[in-house]
Structure 1
């Protein structure tokens, strides 16, 4: 296990974590059964890839922002904040999605990364956010609940949790 010498934090994607990002994303894709084909082009022009991840982008028919959870030269995971919800995202996806690279799992990073993401969502003006997860994903459920997630309902194959970000309502 690698000992981190700096406190992990959410940042805009950065080329300073090139090696650990590519290694971590490859491990995550393989562990999740996702295609790794995008990693070749990303590694060939990593600066260009990073630039394409910065700022407000558009996917899922909504604007979104991408953040990397990093500590020094170590990439630990990714968090995405979707600025709006479509009917599809209301059922599966929500406002925030995240993942931690396999080498950094089960160390509390997801809980801290989501907490930092909630602070960023609050800064962006959100009063509440929706997170969804598969009922079988106990680790994700625990992360969401640890960050104040209140189970709203099960819709389709997803659990829906709302997190209140408005300090006036607490």
Structure 2
């Protein structure tokens, strides 16, 4: 296992992790059998790719922020916080993924913990997460944070509410 230079943190997307981002996302996509062609554009103009991902943006018709989980030049994963839910509550407040080479090392648990703090700062008292039923790793992470089941969304994903610090 690679020793990280510092504990990973959520931060704005940055060109500092270009190689690690591209390699990590490619490894993750290949591991899942997914299309990697989108990485070609990112690799040709990474500065613009990053600039398009910084700050609060309208995504899914709601204000959202993208964060990367990094340690020095190492990209570990990404996380999105929707500042409000979409009308169908399809994706919840928080979405995250850890790229394949860094999975099963506790990073997702830390990412969700940090995301709940950010949600609290936005005044979100209960954050909605939606998880595919077969995603046992995310279900474990959610349970570590006390998620409360709330049925299934229109896409067949399980819904869970997690209290943030704002609820205290």
Q: Residues of 1 paired with 2:36 and 2:62: CA distance?
A: 24
The answer on whether the counterparts of 2:116 and 2:165 sit within 8 Å (CA) in structure 1 is no
Q: Residues of 2 paired with 1:99 and 1:41: CA distance?
A: 21
What runs of 5+ residues in structure 2 fail to find an aligned partner?
none
Q: TM-score, normalised by structure 2?
A: 0.93
Q: Residues of 2 paired with 1:33 and 1:65: CA distance?
A: 27
Matched, 1:127 2:99: no
Aligned-residue RMSD, C-alpha: 1.4
In the other structure, the counterpart of 2:97 is: 99
In the other structure, the counterpart of 1:58 is: 58
Q: Comparing 135-144 with 149-158, which one deviates more in the overlay?
A: 149-158
Q: How far 1:18 sits from its partner (Å)?
A: 0.5
Cα displacement string for residues 66-122 of structure 1 (whole angstroms, at most 9, x for unaligned residues): 00000111000000001122233x1x3111100001010000000001101111111
- Structure-2 change in CA distance of 1:137 and 1:48 (3 Å): same
SS in 2 for 1:98: strand
Say how many residue pairs are matched.
167
In the other structure, the counterpart of 1:165 is: 164
Q: Comparing 32-41 with 78-87, which one deviates more in the overlay?
A: 32-41
Q: How far 1:134 sits from its partner (Å)?
A: 1.1
Cα displacement string for residues 136-169 of structure 1 (whole angstroms, at most 9, x for unaligned residues): 11110011111221112233411110011145x5
Q: Residues of 1 paired with 2:39 and 2:15: CA distance?
A: 14
Q: Which of 144, 147, 150 in structure 1 is aligned with 2:145?
A: 147
Q: How far 1:43 sits from its partner (Å)?
A: 1.0
Q: How far 1:31 sits from its partner (Å)?
A: 2.4
